[in-house]
Amino acid sequence: MQLPMTLALRFSRRHALLLIAAHGGALAIILAISAASALAPLPVLVLSTAILSSLLWQFLRLFGARRVVALRLHADGTLECVRRSNTSEFTALKIHPHTTVSPLLTLLLLDGGQGLWWQRLEPLVLLPDALDVEDFRRLRLWLRWRAAAPVRGSAKVLP
* 135 lies in some domain: yes
Is residue 46 located within the same domain as residue 103?
Answer: no
* 44 lies in some domain: yes
44 bridge partner residues:
none
pLDDT tens per residue across all 159 residues of the chain: 788 899 999 999 999 999 999 999 999 999 998 888 877 888 889 999 999 999 999 999 888 888 889 999 998 888 999 988 877 788 888 888 889 999 999 999 988 766 666 667 889 999 999 999 999 999 999 998 876 665 554 444 444
Strands 119-126 and 79-83, sheet pairing: unpaired
- 105 DSSP assignment: -
* 156 lies in some domain: no
Is residue 84 located within the same domain as residue 97?
Answer: yes
* 85 lies in some domain: yes
State how many domains the chain has.
Answer: 2
d(CA 1, CA 141): 10
Is residue 144 located within the same domain as residue 96?
Answer: yes
Q: Which domain holds residue 100?
A: 5-11+67-148
Is residue 112 located within the same domain as residue 129?
Answer: yes
